[in-house]
Amino acid sequence: MKINKFIIALLVIFVTLQSCREEYLNEPTPTDSVSPDVVFGSKEGATAFISGILRRTRGQFTATDAGNVGSVYFARTNKGNDVINNGSWFSFDYENDNREPNYRRTVFSWNFPYHIINQVNAFIDGVENSTAIAPADKNQLLGQAYAMRAFFYFELSLEFQHTYTYDPSLPAPPIYTEPNELEGKPMSTQQEMYAFIVEDLEQAIAIGSTQRIDRSYFGKQVAHAIAARVYQVMGNWSKAAENARAAYGGNVASALSPAVYGSGFDDMDEGVEWLLADPQSADQSSYYFLAPHGFFTRTESAYNNTFINRSFVNTFTETDVRNTFLKTTATDYRQWYTTKFKFAFDADVPLIRTAEMILIEAEALYHSNPAAAHDLLYQLQVNRDPAAVKSTNTGAALLEEILLERRKELYGEMGVEWYDAKRLRRGLPRDPWHRINMANNPLVKDDKRFFLKVPQPEIDANPNIDNSVNDNR
Amino acid sequence: MKVNLRVLSIGVLFFAGHTLMAQKSKSDTVTKTKDIQEVVLVGGIKLDPAVKLGSYTVVSKENFESTPVASIDEVLNGRVAGLTFSTNGGDPGSTNLITIRGVGSLIGTPNPLYVIDGVVVGKGSDNSQVMESWNPLASIDPNSIEKVAVLKDASATALYGARGANGVIVITTKRGKYGQRTRFNISSDMSVQDIAYDKQRYMNAQEFLQWGGQMLVNSGAFTDLTAATNQFALDNNYDGVTNENWQERVQRSSSVVNTYNVSATGGGENTSFRLGASYYQNEPLVLNSNFDRVSVNAAIDHKIEDKLNLGFNANFTNVERKTYDDGGAYRNPWLTNWYIAPIYPAYIDGVYNQNNLGPGNDFFNPLAIQENDFMKGSIKTFVSSLTAEYQPVKNFYVNSLFGVQYQALDEKTYWDPRIGDGLTYNGYILQSRSSAFDWNWNNSVSYRNIINERHDIQAFIGMEYQEHKYYSLGAQVDDLSQPIPYISFGTEYLQPWEDRLKWTQISYYSRFNYSLDKKYSLSAQVRRDGNSTLGQKKYGNFWSVAGSWTLSNENFIPEFFDNLTLRANYGEIGNIPYADQWYVQYNAFPLLTPTSLYAADQATTIAQPGNPDLRWEISKQYNIGLDFGFMNNAVSASVDVYQRKTVDAIYSYTTAPTAGGPDSYFTNVGDILNRGLEATVTIRPINGEFKWIIDGNFAYNKNTVESISNPDQIDLSGVANSMRAIAEGHLLGEYYTYDWAGVDPTTGEGTFWTDASHTEKTTNRTAAERVWQGKTPFPKYTAGLKSEFRYKNFSLSAFFTGQFEYSVHNRWQNYILGDGSTVNNQIVDALYDSWTPTNTTASNPKQLLNNPSNAAGPSTRWMRDGDHIRLKEARLSYSFGALLKSAGVDNLSVYLRGVNLWLYTFDENLNFDPETNSNAAGASWAGKGLYDYTSPIMRSFSFGVSLDF
């Protein structure tokens, strides 16, 4: 029967299509990307995600002065007295005139950390829910993620409010713990922000591992180092000392490599001092976005627009390995420059070094055991300058000596002058010979210019933050 | 056979048909009209004009035959109430923007869905990788079209469900007839074209220099205009003699379009066929550009004992197209007048002038670029369907349709190493191969019966599966070893690409129709659609109901009425606004991209977070209509009022930067409301040997964004120099810009009102507030009017279209009339209508060299009323009818036709075509009414011949 054949054929068609329908709709997936299942399906996949996030931290986010972690730090460096900007990139930071809601600095310093944090949140979410990664590996991966998240929230807290000790009840940037939220969250408070940062760091320390691929990964030692900074800002000196010590290992001599001064601060693997770095290579570089190297150098072709204040040069002895200053032919503010940082596309950028940890411990000890602090400080000084003589300073003068040592050790790296002035609630006056000496409007104690306004794009897009957030800010 | 006749065929067949009809009785006329109006939809479901439930318009074949335009969508312009057409570029093959009953979606193309012989071919959006755009509908041979039905409301479009919410255009191609001897048709058309409307006059050399001199005087550097002009000439390296018209340099003297068609139709008792072929050759105005299309098509039907009907359709076309960058591209030949001043010659000593072209233009000689560089595409398209209808038992039918569409594009760009951009790269070649493959399979079972000659019952149940795939492979090289346009001559290899994209859709549908005595009709439809591009909720349930009452069949209605029918329907239909754009199929998926390394380690980052909550956008529509005809159908008309409300409209939502992801997500954010009225009328005031037929249509539409989830958000259109925005409570795409307050007669500076109150002025545009203007680029009113006279074998017709109450602007306004901010050539207003101490009432500010003022930026200074009336088509034809019967010729007809012959604009300052769009906005609404120096709309004059034997 012809008819029956047709009917059977049609029935077959209907049944076939019917039974396959779910599969048909779920089948089309992108072919040029990987799904989260694959990424979080193995330790290697998850590690590749960490590598991807790290690559973003040293990339070209917006513009030459707004590209990566180095840009955040170098903007701070420009705000102080020890370095002098000669115009061009970072000049608005140098003028301390870069905090309005639509300015590039403001928008970058806000968007960039949140961009990284969202990636880290996605990572944490994926690893926590992965059934394929072994528990021990999970701890090692999550330890890094918690430390990264704490690092970027800490930088946000520094950029967008008075220091923690000024008033912990003040608004702080929003806190996100989940990835890919559609709706913007409201502002938090400094108290909530620091509690969250501390929680992340303590967890990173509890489960993290010091084993890492290279010095750009956030191993447990980095978690300790970030914690040392955080507790330093909070004024929790015992915790600051404990974490600083854990970060550098407790043995000053074996934690320092004075020989690296003079070779250009461009290789994270040289010596033992670098705790955290943004590495570069010729084909994976932030190119001319590379701060501070591209801005201090005078010998390689880059922006070459940052000079050293002669009063700062004068604080170094001739025999100090850190005295890497050279003179230009100019006699004005452009007289001195530094050779500490050698520019190349493959120059690594230092983010945290052991010397900073030693000095955090010294500062912390100053509050409980000034003699021990003085001894520790001298150990560092004599490492840098074999001819160093231990000072006779006590009391406030000893603290000032520690702070000066921090500037001499860390200038150009993490914005030490600004960081110390902000957290210790001091002003930041300039010498009169500066290109812009701000004599009429110097940065004073608790100056609002120590932090930025909330960016307008956030206010526009976030239903939980309105224009009033910038009232009196 | 007289094969060598040039062109034409249009309306002849139609005309002949009408003559025939006139001799027959009224009922035959009605039957004939019914044939034209009857549209077969999916699964054997018909739109029956006798029991019309929904709102739809049918455009018949004579409008498409031998048309000089390249794509069929352009033909619909003005012929359908509620349909607005505008083009993203007049270069044949460019994409167009069509809206039916306003814009229903915030993103994606607002175009309707096109279905050809049951094959779902998409929305006419762009398939190209290299060319500015490629309109897939330009692959369809208009001569193979029998009729086009434009479905407008929910009861009509519900059968196409998802993707049908913007309306559906159902194209039926020509078929053979059973039991008819084989007939042949040969037709040909030749058209000559030029620019339809462009009132922009650019300065000649003398004017340009004088403008420069005036600027120097205005700045105070000179007091004597002649001395200043001489200085300006000197500063700009003028040779003292040149007066170049650059636009003419890069153009042909005229554009010519030729069309040749041949077809054969016929059939035996059980088999019928139609075979057709056509060649369409368009030489556009721009030098070296062209568009050649070869098409072949076939339709075969076969029946077995009236129980089983089988059908097959195939259409193949090949397009060879040579085009160019237009719109915002610096090398756009339509911008030549602006970017090179007339004081520079095209040639110096017989070779291209490469180094004296004005600041920044070295080596960018437009003539050299047009003659040496190229952008071309070869597009092969195959659309085919197989249908079967089987009647297993009485009144039961099983229908199956399998359709495929395959389009392969081979595109190439070449930049000669000796000129322009090519110099920078030492030559550049981009080669791309891409293809789109779509197929759908539709199966249904139906029951159709008329019981007791009173109850007409039809019930359907069916399902459809669609699959859409896109594949693209591209390679690019630069640093050519020789100036030869083949990849193998590149010595440096740039990033190649490969993309494979796919999406699918499954639908289950049912429909129930009931009609009593052809008086009372009821229709209900329920469907369930699933779409792979959505988040976790892939399925949506949609429905519609419709009823009609044919009052003219009631006894209490006077005989005076030939027809009086009241219709009403309501429906909710799903829509995926982005589905027809490639690369956005995976919005719902979180993706990580493994494209980078970190040191030697693999590095992965989030490419997109995905929105698992992405769900159907729903279009809720009602339509109430009245059809009436009286005095032996001397007057017949339809009026429809509708509301179309889109809820959960999908939009690219700007996310808070703290959320840390990409800047925006596709998500369901708001409601859009369209309300309107449509009327169509046909009047036959004289219906004897001399006939006068008037067809008119009119439409009103208002399109409002009712709500958006973040009500304070105002999204300016992302297209540069656009002045339109989307915000809650405002018209969709409403103009939102600074209020121009004219030129200060004492200082010559441009001024702006600081706010909507118009109390205070400022010379700083951005210090003013933006003001909502109450106008959009979409016409509030559209109208079409066709008047046709017939006498014996002569026919004369004129077809006017009009669009009213809308605004347009020129995206390049602040460049072509920049008040001196750049020293490029300007339109003559810069010289004759700008402020000087002796001309203080001029419309434009004081011209200053390198003018720092921002007064030329976007503001109402540039808004123009787009309102216009256009003579879309006029035609005179003569048919020999039976005169040549003895020579074996069934019919021979000849015609003259003009397209876009005349344009009347209501705004005297409107100097560009108000029906052109920018192609910079992709397919979205944001390109609408934004004049962007894309290829202009053409006016054409044709002569054509059609021979039947």
pLDDT tens digits, one per residue of B704-745: 999 887 777 777 887 888 899 998 999 999 999 999 999 999
pLDDT band at A16 (very low <50, low <70, confident <90, very high): low
Are A213 and B601 within 8 A, CB to CB? yes
Closest residue of chain A to B603, computed from CA coordinates: A52
Q: Does A60 touch chain B (CB under 8 A)?
A: no
Q: Which of A34, A180, A214 sits opposite B599 (nearest CB)?
A: A214
Would you say the C-alpha torsion B66, B70, B71, B73 has a positive or negative sign? negative
Cβ contact, residue pair B506, A21, below 8 Å: yes
A 70-129 → B contacts, CB under 8 A? 107, 110-111, 114-119, 121-122
Question: What is the distance between the alpha carbons of residues A388 and A368, in angstroms, rounded to a whole number?
Answer: 25
* Residue B229: pLDDT over 90: yes
Which chain A residue is nearest to residue B584, measuring alpha carbons? A30
pLDDT above 60: residue B17: no
Residues A45, A132: Cα–Cα separation, whole Å: 11
State how far residue A58 is from chain B, nearest Cα, in angstroms.
11
CA dihedral B846, B848, B853, B858 (to 10 degrees): 70
Task: Provide the pLDDT for residue B358.
Answer: 86
Measured between CB atoms, does B600 come within 8 Å of chain A?
A: no
Nearest Cβ partner of B602 from A31, A33, A51? A51
**What is the DSSP-derived secondary structure letter of residue B284?**
-
pLDDT: is A2 or B12 the higher one?
A2
Q: Which residues of A fall within a CB distance of 8 Å from B653?
A: 182
Interchain contact B601–A (C-beta under 8 A): yes
Q: Do B599 and A463 touch (CB under 8 A)?
A: no
Q: Is A234 in contact with A223 (CB distance < 8 Å)?
A: no
- Mark yes or no for CB contact B655/A461 under 8 Å: yes
- Measured between beta carbons, which residues in chain A are less than 8 angstroms from residue B538? 25
Nearest CA in chain A to B712: A460
- Report A:262-281 residues touching B (Cβ under 8 A): 279, 281
Q: With an 8 Å Cβ cutoff, is B520 touching chain A? A: no
Degrees (nearest 5) of the Cα angle B607, B612, B616?
A: 120
Asked if A59 has any chain B CB less than 8 Å from its own CB, the reply is no
Is residue B27 pLDDT above 70, yes or no?
A: no
Q: How many helices (H) and strands (E) does chain A have?
A: 18, 8
**Region A81-108 average pLDDT:** 90
Residue B366 bridge partners (DSSP): none
Higher pLDDT, B153 or A70: A70
Instruction: Using CB atoms, pick whichever of B398, B657, B712 lies closest to residue A114.
Output: B657
Residue B37's pLDDT is what? 66
Q: Is the pLDDT of residue A241 over 60?
A: yes
pLDDT (tens digit, 9 = 90+) per residue, B406-459? 999 999 999 999 998 888 889 999 999 999 999 999 999 999 899 998 999 999
Is pLDDT at A33 greater than 80 in this prediction? Answer: no
Tens-digit pLDDT profile for residues A186-233: 999 999 999 999 999 999 999 999 999 999 999 999 999 999 999 999
Percent of chain B with pLDDT over 70: 93
Nearest to B820 by CA among B830, B835, B833: B830
Name the amino acid, one letter, at B404: V
* Distance of alpha carbon B150 from alpha carbon B78, whole angstroms: 12
- Residue B63 has a pLDDT of 80
pLDDT at A383 over 90: yes
Q: B291: closest CA among B943, B935, B864, B733?
A: B935
Highest-confidence range of A240-249, B58-67, B135-144, by mean pLDDT? A240-249
- Cα–Cα distance measured from residue B126 to residue B922, given in angstroms and rounded to the nearest whole number: 8
Which among A194, A159, A151 has a CA at the least distance from the CA of A66?
A: A159
Count contacts between A and B (CB, < 8 Å): 188
Task: In whole angstroms, give the CA distance from residue B68 to residue B941.
Answer: 9
Cβ burial B358-373 (10 Å sphere, 16+ → b, else e) = beebebbbbbbbbbbb
Compute and round to an integer the Cα radius of gyration of chain A: 26
Instruction: State which residue of chain B sits closest to A178, comparing Cα positions.
Output: B659
> Mean pLDDT over all residues of chain B?
86
**Could you report the predicted ipTM of this complex, rounded to two decimals?**
0.77
CB A305 within 8 A of CB A295: yes
Are B660 and A114 a contacting pair at CB < 8 A? yes
Instruction: Give the pLDDT of residue A413.
Output: 95
Q: Which amino acid is at A374?
A: H
DSSP assignment string, B529-570: EEETTS-S--EEEEEEEEEEEEGGGSTTS-TTEEEEEEEEEE
Distance (Å, whole) CA A132 – CA A138: 10
Distance CA A42, CA A40 (A): 5
How far, rounded to the nearest angstrom, does the alpha carbon of residue A349 sit from its chain's CA centroid?
Answer: 11
Contact A52 B586 (CB under 8 A): no
Interchain proximity B661–A118, CB inside 8 Å: yes
In chain A, which residues have their Cβ closer than 8 Å to the Cβ of B441?
A: 17
Label residue B942 by pLDDT band (50, 70, 90): very high
Q: Which residues of B touch A114 (CB under 8 A)?
A: 657-660
Interaxial angle between packed helices A104-129 and A69-78, expressed in degrees from 0 to 180 and rounded to the nearest 10? 140
B586 touching A (Cβ < 8 Å): yes
pLDDT at B23: 30
pLDDT digits (tens, 9 = 90+) for B93-133: 778 888 888 888 888 888 888 888 888 888 876 778 888 77
Q: Which of A151-160, A262-271, A321-330, B576-585 has the lowest mean pLDDT?
A: B576-585
HEC per residue, B369-423: HHHHCEEEEEEEEEEEEEEEEECCCCCEEEEEEEEEEEEEEEEEEEECCCCHHHH
Q: Are A227 and A333 in contact (CB under 8 A)?
A: no
**Angle, CA B634 vertex, CA B632 and CA B638 arms, to 5°:** 105
Tell me what pLDDT residue B19 has: 29
Nearest by CB to residue B597, choosing from A183, A214, A284, is A284
Tell if the CB–CB gap between B531 and A25 is shorter than 8 Å.
yes
Q: Is A35 on the interface with B (CB under 8 A)?
A: yes
Q: Which chain B residues contact residue A281 at CB under 8 A?
A: 599
Instruction: Round to whole Å and give the CA distance between B709 and B728.
Output: 9
Using CB atoms and an 8 Å cut-off, which of residues 8-27 of chain A contact chain B?
A: 10, 13-14, 17-18, 21, 24-27
**Burial (Cβ within 10 Å: 0-12, 13-18, ≥19) of residue B22:** middle
Q: Pairing relation of β-strands B168-173 and B113-116?
A: parallel
Burial class (CB in 10 A: 0-12, 13-18, 19+), B886: exposed
Q: How far is A172 from chain B (nearest CA, A)?
A: 12
Q: Among partner residues B443, B505, B598, which is closest to A14 by beta-carbon distance?
A: B443
Q: Does B234 touch chain A (CB under 8 A)?
A: no
Report B:927-946 residues touching A (Cβ under 8 A).
none
Contact A373, A394 (CB under 8 A): no
B654 touches B715 (CB < 8 A)? yes
Distance from CA of A220 to the nearest CA of B (A): 21
Interface of B with A in 707-736 (CB under 8 A): 710, 712-713
Chain B interface includes A186 (CB < 8 A): no
pLDDT, position A59: 81
* Residue contact A32–B498, C-beta within 8 A: yes
Mean pLDDT in residue range B673-677: 94
CA R_g for chain B:
29
Tokens 């074949």, residue? B61
Residues of B in contact with A465 (CB under 8 A): 656
- CB contact under 8 Å between A284 and B710, yes or no, is no
